[in-house]
Amino acid sequence: MFGHVQPGPPDPMFTLKRDADNDASPEKVDLGVGIYRNEEGSYQELEVVKKAKLELDELDLGHDYELTVGDADFLRLAAEVMFGAHSGALRTGKIQITSQVKDTNFSTQVCSVQTISGTGANSLGALFISKVMEPKPRVYIGVPTWGNHIPIFQNTGLETTTYPYLDASKHAVNFTALLDTVRSAAQGSIFVLQGCCHNPTGVDLSLRQWEELACEMKYYGHLPFFDTAYQGLGDGLDEDAAGVRVFVDAGIEMLVCQSFSKNFALYGERCGALHFVGNSQEVAANVQDRLRSLIRHTYSSAPAYGSRLVKIVLNDPDLRKEWASETDGMRKRLKRNRQALYDELAIRLKTPGDWSYLVKEKGLFSCLALSPSQCRELVETYHVHLPGSGRINLAGLSEENVKRAAQAIDKVTRTH
Ligand code: PLP
């Protein structure tokens, strides 16, 4: 029955990680897999998570099933992180106006369900769209993007197509092309938008661009599908949600995927949420109930452990402050690493090319303007691990290795 089954497509990030882990060279610099690493190149548990674990231990809640959609307090707190504690969208009634694109007639309501982290939020959102939207909309996905976006939507039977996201020559959003696509897409199309710290480019929309995009998306009647996996690692927790909040203020129905993998360093716990922003309490309640049934029929109920830790932290004003300061620490270190690499390449080594994008881009990633063969040489000759696309994880740099990494980048830039 299964003799015809072929192996799945290879996962380049898995191979990259395996090769980097197996590289015993003291020269190794691992800039590959997209995980926050500390100065020593290791995973680092947040101090607030350590405290929450002790508190959870004392609470001794046992291991009963969690509710299908997850714990209500966790969901309220997660929504607050995304939409802002004072967002009117989280209450009944008119929304508060914070941006220039405002719609005071739109009575925004948010409903939320817990998901198997950000990937699960994307999958559940895609499944929901494939089940409830008629006719089935086309899903527009930026180029380049996170490697999972296209397969996730295609797995649910939705048709995907692309929109140009990056103008590689300028290291900037190709905003004109994005708007052109929005204007030419059939009404009711889905646009997948990364809320901040774009993977793989580190290039985000400005506030003004979010506002313009929101106006156009609303005018053409499209559904924004926000994916926010790195909130807090770009400009700050609230600043990184600015795009999402502009769309809320504009009174646009949308879906928002949220991950606590990076900003809580809870990778293995698979903790996240899917939020729906709708135009009435009744719509939001119906959508939440539909999501409940999709969860029930897919994996039955929410995982409990990660969300209990996040809830403990976000529910306690002191721990919440400490969490904000810990995410700020990660964010600042990423900025320092960007500056250090820029200083080495542009100032000390005078490596040919414009490296200023390194300090303008945000979050964990930037794409080095290198060819696949230059990237291969970096791995094979210099033990600097990165994929052929040139995407680097800035967290993999440290005071100890940044000179070595820059020297190698300088060499491959000059010799090709
Ligand atoms: N979305 C984007 C853009 C990502 O880069 C990632 C992680 O790499 C995710 C979603 C999902 O991450 P997780 O499932 O660990 O929350």
- Yes or no: say if 83 and 248 are a contact pair by the CB < 8 Å rule: yes
Local confidence band at 102 (pLDDT 50, 70, 90 cut-offs): low
Q: Which two tokens stand for residue 408?
A: 């190698």
Nearest CA owner, ligand 1 atom 15: 261
Q: Which residues of 297-310 are buried (b: 16+ CB within 10 A; e: fewer)?
A: eeeebbbbbbbbbb
CA of 228 to the centre of ligand 1 (A): 8
Residue type at position 94: K
Q: Quick one: how many helices (H) and strands (E) in the chain? A: 14, 13
Residue 227 annotated among the catalytic residues of the structure: yes
Strand partners, 276: 111, 255
Across the chain, mean pLDDT equals: 94
CA of 233 to the centre of ligand 1 (A): 13
Cβ–Cβ contacts within 10 Å for residue 147, how many?
15
Res 85: pLDDT: 79
pLDDT average, residue stretch 373-401:
96
Dihedral of the alpha carbons of 138, 142, 148, 150, in degrees to the nearest 10? 30
C-alpha to C-alpha distance for 103 and 85, rounded to whole angstroms: 20
Mutate to test the pocket of ligand 1, among 141, 197, 199 (most ligand atoms within 8 A of CB): 199
Res 93: pLDDT: 36
- Yes or no: say if 197 and 394 are a contact pair by the CB < 8 Å rule: no
Cβ–Cβ contacts within 10 Å for residue 98, how many?
15
Residue of 30, 103, 204, 227 with catalytic role: 227
Length of the chain: 416
Residue 371 CB partners (closer than 8 Å, separation 6+): 390, 416
In this prediction the ipTM stands at 0.99
Quick: pLDDT tens for 162-190: 999 999 999 999 999 999 999 999 999 99
Residue of 103, 146, 240, 323 with catalytic role: 146
- Yes or no: say if 220 and 191 are a contact pair by the CB < 8 Å rule: no
Report the SS3 class of residue 259.
strand
Q: Residue 340: pLDDT above 90?
A: yes
C-alpha to C-alpha distance for 154 and 379, rounded to whole angstroms: 32
Local confidence band at 98 (pLDDT 50, 70, 90 cut-offs): very low
C-alpha to C-alpha distance for 60 and 28, rounded to whole angstroms: 43
- Report the candidate in 10, 32, 12, 38 with the shortest Cα–Cα distance to residue 378: 32
Res 120: pLDDT: 98
Res 105: pLDDT: 57
Local confidence band at 223 (pLDDT 50, 70, 90 cut-offs): very high
Quick: pLDDT tens for 277-292: 998 889 999 999 999 9
Which helix (H) or strand (E) covers residue 194, if one does? Answer: strand 190-194
Q: Residue 104: pLDDT above 60?
A: no
- Report the candidate in 190, 173, 180, 248 with the shortest Cα–Cα distance to residue 214: 248
Phi, psi dihedral angles at 226 (to 5 degrees): -80, 140
What is the residue-wise DSSP string for 272-318? Answer: EEEEEEESSHHHHHHHHHHHHHHHHHHT-S---HHHHHHHHHHHSHH
Q: Which residues line ligand 1 (CB under 6 A)?
A: 34, 117-119, 146, 194, 199, 227, 229, 259, 261, 267, 272
What is the residue-wise DSSP string for 339-393? Answer: HHHHIIIIIIS--SS--THHHHS-TTEEE-S--HHHHHHHHHHH-EE--TT-EEE
Res 88: pLDDT: 60
Quick: pLDDT tens for 275-329: 999 988 899 999 999 999 999 999 999 999 999 999 999 999 999 999 999 999 9
- Least confident span in 49-58, 63-72, 103-112, 270-279: 103-112
C-alpha to C-alpha distance for 190 and 310, rounded to whole angstroms: 30
Strand partners, 143: 164
C-alpha to C-alpha distance for 300 and 67, rounded to whole angstroms: 9
Q: Which two tokens stand for residue 143?
A: 């180029």
